[in-house]
Each structure stands twice: as structure tokens, then as C-alpha cells.
């Protein structure tokens, strides 16, 4: 298995909903990342997990809550989002000792 | 602080023509450098990377890039454009620690 997978592909949620995004990789990578990407813009780093521990939080609002239950799985829990949070959410992972990040296909989120 | 500048938010070439996408970086030490491609409604795909060693780097789909320390550049080239090359291209740099700094992106259009 040589890819990063993300589910769901698309998600529509209301501002009072709670939902979760899921990211999985089975390549033995020990660093995993969440990015947010708005249309026609580069990805913006949100969180970095290294060996299942949160190592970087780029001052992301608390309505976004990351979780890394094991070395293969990364979740992003969403609660009380705002319409401006609508974006493509990308997950990435890196092999041990490497700075190269491999991206998943993303989840397109629409907040109504 | 690191930064990346991609010259030209939009580049248009004819099919079969040379593709040249420009990337300049600002860093106090030689960074790791990457080019990613993003097709519409997809994630980022790694085209090529420079970490150490040979300064001319070959990637997938016939692309290559040359690291020029004296010019702080990492321009992406392809000798002959194909219609399937139409996409958004991002240059990125990192000094390590998981933080990728992206350029603003260059949209490549290929005319028949």
C-alpha cells in the first residue's frame, strides 16, 4: 500500500454539526500532517503529528481537534464550524528521517 | 525566515513547447526543495525533490529542476508540453521539522 487515503471525499455540514475527517496510510510513515487549502491558494499547515504526538499546532481554532490514535491513522474532528472553514482539507505523511511529504486526495468540506 | 516566490501566477504554453516555471527561495542555509503538481479537485502529487547531492533533479512525467545556490533558484522545466500537463504547480521549501513553506502557485495552461 503506497498511498495516503482520506475519507470522506466530500462533506457538507451545518454550523452546529459534529463530523470527523479520516486519513490513513500503511507505508510506515511516522509523521502525519493536516493542511487546509482554499481555492487558488497554497495549502496552509494546521497540525503535525510526529510518532503519534502533536508536535506543531499552527494556532488553529479549537473547533478543529486533531487526533492520532495510532501510527497509521489521523483524524480531524470538526465542531461548530463557520462558513469560512469551507475548503479542501489535505492530509500528508512522511517516512522516518525524511522531509518529503506525500499527500492524500483531500476532503472537500462545505459548511452551510 | 524562509520564503518562496513563484514568478508568474499563470503561464500559458503551446503543446510541444518548452515549459519553464520559476521558483526562487529565501533561506539562510540550503533548504530542501520540492515541486508538487495539483490537478483540479485532487491532492498534491510530488513531482521531484532536491535534498542533497546532484543539483539537476529528474522527476516524473518528464519534468526536471536545477538547484542553483548562487541564484537561490529551483526552476522547473519540461522540454515539450503535453495537454495533460495543465495543472497548478507549487514550489515548496523546508529546513526541516515538518514545516513546508509553499509558493503561491503557478497555473499552467497548454494550448493545442
Could B45 and A103 be called an inter-chain contact, meaning their C-beta atoms sit closer than 8 Å? yes
Find the closest chain A residue to B47 by CA distance: A102
Nearest Cα to Cα of residue B1 among B79, B109, B95? B95
DSSP A27: S
Q: B44, B51, B88, B106: best mutation site toward chain A, by most A Cβ within 10 Å?
A: B44
Q: Which residues of chain A have pLDDT under 70?
A: 1
Q: How far apart are CA A43 and CA B90, in angstroms?
A: 10
C-alpha–C-alpha distance, residues A12 and A20, integer Å: 11
Hey, which residues 28-67 in chain B have their CB within 8 Å of chain A?
Answer: 32, 34, 36, 41-46, 49, 51
**Confidence at residue A1, expressed as pLDDT on a 0 to 100 scale:** 63
Reduce the secondary structure of A53-88 to three states and give it as a string: EEEEECCCCCCEEEEEEECCEEEEEEECCCHHHCEE
Spatial distance between the Cα atoms of A62 and A64, rounded to a whole number of angstroms: 5
What chain B residue is nearest to A89 in terms of C-alpha separation? Answer: B43
Distance from A70 to chain B by nearest Cα, in Å? Answer: 19
Stretches in chain B below the pLDDT threshold 50: none
Would the CB atoms of B51 and A50 count as touching at under 8 Å?
Answer: no
Residue B1's pLDDT is: 74
What's residue A37's pLDDT? Answer: 97
Contact B84, B112 (CB under 8 A): no
CB contact under 8 A, B100 and A45: yes
Please give, one letter per residue, the 3-state secondary structure of B24-91.
EEECCCCCEEEEEEECCCCCEEEEEEECCCCCEEECHHHCEEEEECCCCEEEEEECCCCHHHCEEEEE
Chain B CB within 8 Å of residue A95 CB: no
Q: A103 CB near a chain B CB, below 8 Å?
A: yes
pLDDT of residue B28: 74
pLDDT at A100: 94
- The pLDDT score that the predictor gives to residue B83 is 97
On whether the CB atoms of residues B60 and B82 are closer than 8 A, the answer is no
CA dihedral A76, A82, A85, A91 (to 10 degrees): 10
Amino acid at each position: 500500500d503506497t498511498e495516503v487515503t482520506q475519507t470522506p471525499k466530500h462533506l457538507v455540514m451545518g454550523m452546529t454539526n459534529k463530523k470527523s475527517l479520516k486519513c490513513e496510510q500503511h507505508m510506515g510513515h511516522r509523521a502525519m500532517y493536516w493542511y487546509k487549502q482554499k481555492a487558488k491558494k497554497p495549502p496552509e499547515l494546521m497540525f503535525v503529528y510526529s510518532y503519534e504526538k502533536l508536535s506543531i499546532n499552527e494556532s488553529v481554532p479549537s473547533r478543529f481537534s486533531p487526533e492520532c490514535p495510532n501510527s497509521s491513522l489521523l483524524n480531524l474532528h470538526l465542531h461548530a464550524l463557520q462558513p469560512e472553514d469551507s475548503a479542501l482539507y489535505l492530509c500528508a505523511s512522511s517516512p522516518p528521517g525524511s522531509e518529503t511529504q506525500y499527500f492524500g486526495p483531500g476532503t472537500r468540506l462545505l459548511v452551510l | 525566515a524562509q520564503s518562496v516566490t513563484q514568478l508568474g501566477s499563470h503561464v500559458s504554453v503551446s503543446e510541444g513547447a518548452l515549459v519553464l516555471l520559476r521558483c526562487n527561495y529565501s533561506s539562510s542555509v540550503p533548504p530542501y526543495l520540492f515541486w508538487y503538481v495539483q490537478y483540479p479537485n485532487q491532492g498534491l502529487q510530488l513531482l521531484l525533490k532536491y535534498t542533497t547531492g546532484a543539483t539537476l533533479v529528474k522527476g516524473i512525467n518528464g519534468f526536471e529542476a536545477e538547484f542553483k545556490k548562487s541564484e537561490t533558484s529551483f526552476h522547473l522545466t519540461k522540454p515539450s508540453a503535453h495537454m495533460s500537463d495543465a495543472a497548478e504547480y507549487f514550489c515548496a521549501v523546508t529546513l526541516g521539522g515538518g514545516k513546508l513553506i509553499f509558493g503561491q502557485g503557478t497555473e499552467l495552461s497548454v494550448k493545442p
